[in-house]
Each structure stands twice: as structure tokens, then as C-alpha cells.
């Protein structure tokens, strides 16, 4: 799965970079999403694989802190980026005449930098708060990787402040992103339904179908992990859901965008044909 994730996302980045007709805001954000998925998976999956194949399942406190920092950074960045991509589709479908003015290069770069900045700030808040707590209980982390909720359960000190910070940050980032995505798609669907031709409606909807699928996968799993009440916590369920958004979703994202998007699919096939011709010569 990890190899497929790396290969699929890297291929998508290369295809967007090497094909001038894909140098649009939509594919700029898609490239960012692929880079985040590569980094997110690389932060967690190698450790999981090492623990599976090795008897020694230890990780240093510093290593745990770094893993938590990067996973929180990439997780929050992806969450916000998905809402930015929804806004991009809103601008393209609902404001087609002003699209290139609204989503110019400068705006796209600023939006991308903002998503990364929020992800970094989110991690800088949570990691110090988590690691200032004394770990008085067993230091066996009942999880595949160092995640905030699993470490809070090892503390002998009341982690109420940390839990409040976690729920507030997760709520603000996830709910604001979800709300922006929802509002964008309400306007998008309303605009699509006003299109008279069936072909026009199908073409407009096809540009959003991939993103809707990715959003449903990502937000569903994230909200389940971070917004569930403490009484409903189950370690095994938590592990399963975490694997979905750290391993399965990053692997599926490039496949979803490649299969459902004709422009990406045609560009991939064209690149493969060019490579095969070069090998023959």
C-alpha cells in the first residue's frame, strides 16, 4: 500500500508539472494534496512497517514528538486544503467569467501557504501541551503511531486542558473546513441544476465528483477519531479508523482523481506512451 501511495501521488505531481495544460489552480492544489499525502504516509507508515517486522517496537520520546508534530501538520493542512479545493470548484462553476481573476496565481500561492501555516501552528500548539504532561502510567502506546489522544491516556495528570485544546482545534479546523466545503457545494449543486443541457450538467458535475469522494473519505474518518466522546472510545476501532486516513486515503486519492478525471487520465496515458516510445528507440 505504501509503495502504491508513493508511486501514485508522485506520478500525479510529475504529470501536473510536465503538462502545461494542467497548470491551472485546480491541479496546483491537487499537486499540493499529493505532496501532503506522500509526507503524511512517510511520517507514519514506515514506523508501522518496522514495528510489524521487528521485535523491538520502541520509539524514543523525541522520535514520538517529531512523528506527532509532522502527522498533525500534514493532517490539518490536508483538511484545510480540501476546503480550498472546494472553493476553487465553486469559483470555476459559479463564477466562470471571473474565475481567472478570483483564482489568479498570487491568490493560489497565498491560499496554499495559509493551509500549510495553519497546519504548522496546529502542531506547535498540541505537541508542547502533550509532552509537558508526566507519563506516570505504562509507556506502552496502544496505537500504531504517536497520536495525541493515545498519549493523553498515559498521563497520570488530569489532561483536561489538553483535551479542551484538542477538541477546540479539531473542531475549528475540521468544522470550519467542512462548513466552507458544504456551502461551496450547495452553491455548486444549485448552479449545476440551473444548466439546461444534460451534457453541460454532467460535465460540470464530473469536475467535482472526485473531490466529493475524497472529502467524504477524509472528513468522515477524521471526525470519528477526534470528535468522538471519551465514553465511546475503543482502541481497536480507533486503530482501524486511523489506518484508513493515514494509509488507505492517501493511497486512494491519486487513483480517484486519475480514474474520475479525464484530463489527468489522458495526461498519464500520454506520458506513458512517450516513455514507451523513448525506450523503444
Tell me which of 24-28, 59-63, 151-155, 198-202 is least confident.
151-155
Q: What is the DSSP secondary structure assignment for residue 142, as one 8-state letter?
A: -
Q: Model confidence over 95-124: pLDDT tens digits?
A: 888 888 889 999 999 999 999 999 999 899
Judged against a pLDDT cut of 80, whether residue 246 lies above it is answered with no
With bands split at pLDDT 50, 70 and 90, how would you rate the model's confidence at 277? Answer: low
User: Which of 73, 72, 221, 64 has the alpha carbon at shortest distance from 143?
Assistant: 64
Output the nine-digit C-alpha cell for 113. Answer: 501557504
What is the spatial distance between Cα 84 and Cα 78, in angstroms, rounded to a whole number?
A: 10
Q: What is the DSSP secondary structure assignment for residue 154, as one 8-state letter?
A: T
Q: Model confidence over 201-221: pLDDT tens digits?
A: 887 787 788 888 888 888 777
Q: Which residue has the cell 506502552?
A: 140
Q: Which domain holds residue 14?
A: 2-280
CA contacts within 13 A on the Cβ side of 214: 30
Q: Provide the CATH number for the domain around residue 45.
A: 1.20.1070.10
Q: Is the Cα dihedral 135, 119, 163, 143 positive or negative?
A: negative
Q: Specify the pTM.
A: 0.84
Q: What are phi and psi of 28, to 5 degrees?
A: -65, -45
Give the distance from CA 257 to its chain's centroid: 14
C-alpha to C-alpha distances, 58 to 10, 72, 167, nearest whole angstrom: 30, 21, 28
The top-scoring range by mean pLDDT among 14-23, 217-226, 235-244 is: 14-23
What is the spatial distance between Cα 165 and Cα 216, in angstroms, rounded to a whole number?
A: 25
The more confidently predicted of residues 194 and 260 is 194
Q: Can you give the pLDDT at residue 184? A: 92
The three-point CA angle 143-149-153 to 5° equals 85
Number of domain units in the chain: 1
Q: Model confidence over 69-103: pLDDT tens digits?
A: 998 899 889 989 999 999 999 998 888 888 888 89
What average pLDDT does the chain have?
Answer: 80
With bands split at pLDDT 50, 70 and 90, how would you rate the model's confidence at 228? Answer: low
The top-scoring range by mean pLDDT among 26-30, 143-147, 242-246 is: 26-30
Judged against a pLDDT cut of 70, whether residue 33 lies above it is answered with yes
Amino acid at each position: 500500500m505504501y509503495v502504491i501511495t508513493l508511486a501514485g501521488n508522485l506520478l500525479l505531481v510529475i504529470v501536473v508539472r510536465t503538462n502545461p495544460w494542467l497548470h491551472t489552480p485546480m491541479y496546483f492544489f491537487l499537486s499540493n494534496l499529493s505532496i501532503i499525502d506522500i509526507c503524511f504516509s512517510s511520517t507514519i507508515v514506515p514506523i508501522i512497517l518496522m514495528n510489524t517486522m521487528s521485535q523491538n517496537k520502541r520509539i524514543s520520546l523525541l522520535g514520538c514528538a517529531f512523528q506527532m508534530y509532522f502527522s498533525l501538520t500534514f493532517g490539518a493542512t490536508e483538511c484545510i486544503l480540501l476546503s480550498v479545493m472546494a472553493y476553487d470548484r465553486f469559483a470555476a462553476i459559479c463564477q466562470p467569467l471571473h474565475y481567472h481573476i478570483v483564482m489568479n496565481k498570487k491568490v493560489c500561492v497565498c491560499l496554499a501557504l495559509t493551509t500549510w501555516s495553519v497546519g504548522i501552528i496546529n502542531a506547535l500548539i498540541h505537541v508542547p501541551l502533550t509532552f509537558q504532561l508526566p507519563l506516570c502510567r505504562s509507556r506502552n502506546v496502544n496505537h500504531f503511531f504517536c497520536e495525541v489522544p493515545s498519549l493523553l491516556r498515559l498521563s497520570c495528570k488530569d489532561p483536561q486542558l489538553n483535551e479542551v485544546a484538542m477538541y477546540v482545534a479539531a473542531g475549528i479546523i475540521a468544522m470550519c473546513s467542512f462548513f466552507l466545503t458544504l456551502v461551496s457545494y450547495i452553491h455548486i449543486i444549485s448552479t449545476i441544476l440551473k444548466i439546461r443541457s444534460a451534457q453541460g450538467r454532467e460535465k460540470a458535475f464530473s469536475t467535482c465528483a472526485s473531490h466529493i469522494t475524497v472529502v467524504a473519505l477524509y472528513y468522515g474518518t477524521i471526525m470519528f477519531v477526534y470528535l468522538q466522546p471519551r465514553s465511546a472510545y475503543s482502541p481497536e476501532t480507533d486503530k482501524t479508523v486511523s489506518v484508513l486516513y493515514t494509509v488507505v486515503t492517501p493511497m486512494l486519492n491519486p487513483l480517484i482523481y486519475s480514474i474520475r478525471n479525464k484530463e489527468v487520465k489522458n495526461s498519464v496515458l500520454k506520458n506513458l506512451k512517450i516513455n514507451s516510445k523513448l525506450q523503444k528507440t
